[in-house]
């Protein structure tokens, strides 16, 4: 069973996060102080959920130390310091994702799923991207789900390629406009939502819940395995 480390001093929050971790079929390990979290983090964990304001210091400032100590897990910072500057700081210091408190349980669940799937992504020859039963061939410009070909328009293929290269991370509509449509301004249209909706329907019909919405922010590419999709 995959393990997720929760470094959180608020007992109620730690219990809520642990419940979500169990819902995903993973085993939670809870630490209440920064020192305990650092000492524990070198174990085999898929994800570390890390608070900022902890007894012993700032969790974000400790990320470099966690990495140098041998922690290989992806790190999700969960903090009441939720301003844009705080999130940027966390990501620049090595966090893989940053979710402000208070959080919606469904959003935390989706972000943890994304990190779990991101951690199992495989790439070969800079051509084949594999996410469980989803395979994306960049040279052939083809998508297969469960070995079945999913026909895509050229723009849909560019869209899923950009999302896949940023798997597990929130991608904003502006990023998609700039990198898929080459528009460096917002044309005030719903072109992104229309294309994402069409692509999402094709994936769901093929049996893959690969594109999730990060409310108010954008989209996350996180193909789910059968056991996670059922959670």
pLDDT class of 120 with cuts at 50, 70, 90: low
Q: Label residue 118 by pLDDT band (50, 70, 90).
A: low
* Same domain membership, residue 110 and residue 165: no
Report strand pairing: 97-100 vs 122-124.
unpaired
Q: Do 139 and 88 share a structural domain?
A: no
Does 147 lie in the same domain as 55?
Answer: no
Residue 26: give the domain boundaries. Answer: 3-118
Q: How confident is the model at residue 92 (pLDDT cuts 50, 70, 90)?
A: confident
Supply the CATH number for residue 78's domain.
3.40.50.2300
Position 11 scores a pLDDT of 95
Q: Which two tokens stand for residue 15?
A: 């219990």
Q: 163 and 112, same structural domain?
A: no
pLDDT tens sequence across 174-222: 999 988 988 877 778 888 999 999 999 999 999 998 898 988 889 999 8
My answer on whether 72 and 153 are in the same domain is: no
- 15 contacts 40 by C-beta, under 8 angstroms: no
Residues 132, 42: one domain? Answer: no
Which of 90, 118, 146 finishes a domain? Answer: 118
| Domain final residue, candidates 97, 118, 139 | 118
82 and 62 together in one domain: yes
In a shared domain, residues 223 and 127: yes
Question: Both 138 and 90 in a single domain?
Answer: no
Total domain count, the chain:
2
Looking at the structure, do residues 65 and 153 belong to the same domain, yes or no? no
Residue 230 has pLDDT above 50, yes or no: no
44 and 79: one domain?
Answer: yes
Q: DSSP H helical segments within 41-148, as ranges?
A: 63-68, 84-92, 105-119
Apex 215 CA angle, 214 and 217, nearest 5 = 70
pLDDT single digits (tens) 32-81: 999 999 999 988 899 999 999 999 999 998 888 887 777 878 899 999 98
111 shares its domain with 128: no
Residue 126 has pLDDT above 80, yes or no: no
Instruction: For strands 142-145 and 148-149, give the pairing.
Output: antiparallel
Q: Single out the residue in 67, 100, 118 at which a domain terminates.
A: 118
- β partners of residue 49: 6, 76
């Amino acid at each position: 069973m995959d393990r997720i480390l929760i470094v959180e001093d608020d007992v109620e929050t730690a219990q809520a996060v642990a419940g979500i971790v169990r819902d995903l079929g993973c085993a939670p390990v809870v630490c209440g102080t920064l020192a305990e979290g650092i000492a524990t983090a070198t174990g085999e964990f898929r994800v570390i959920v890390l608070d900022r304001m902890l007894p012993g210091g700032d969790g974000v400032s400790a990320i470099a130390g966690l990495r140098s100590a041998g922690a290989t897990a992806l790190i999700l910072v969960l903090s009441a310091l939720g301003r844009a500057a705080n999130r940027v700081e966390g990501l620049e210091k090595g966090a893989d994702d940053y979710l402000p408190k208070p959080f919606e349980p469904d959003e935390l669940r989706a972000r943890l799923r994304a990190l779990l799937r991101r951690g199992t992504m495989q790439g070969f020859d800079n051509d084949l991207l594999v996410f469980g039963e989803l395979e994306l061939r960049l040279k052939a410009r083809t998508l297969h789900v469960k070995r079945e070909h999913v026909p895509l328009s050229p723009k849909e293929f560019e869209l899923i390629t950009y999302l896949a290269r940023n798997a597990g991370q929130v991608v904003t509509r502006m990023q998609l406009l700039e990198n898929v449509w080459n528009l460096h301004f917002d044309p005030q249209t719903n072109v992104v939502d229309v294309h994402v909706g069409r692509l999402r329907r094709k994936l769901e019909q093929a049996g893959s819940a690969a594109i999730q919405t990060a409310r108010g922010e954008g989209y996350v590419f996180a193909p789910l395995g059968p056991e996670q999709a059922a959670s």
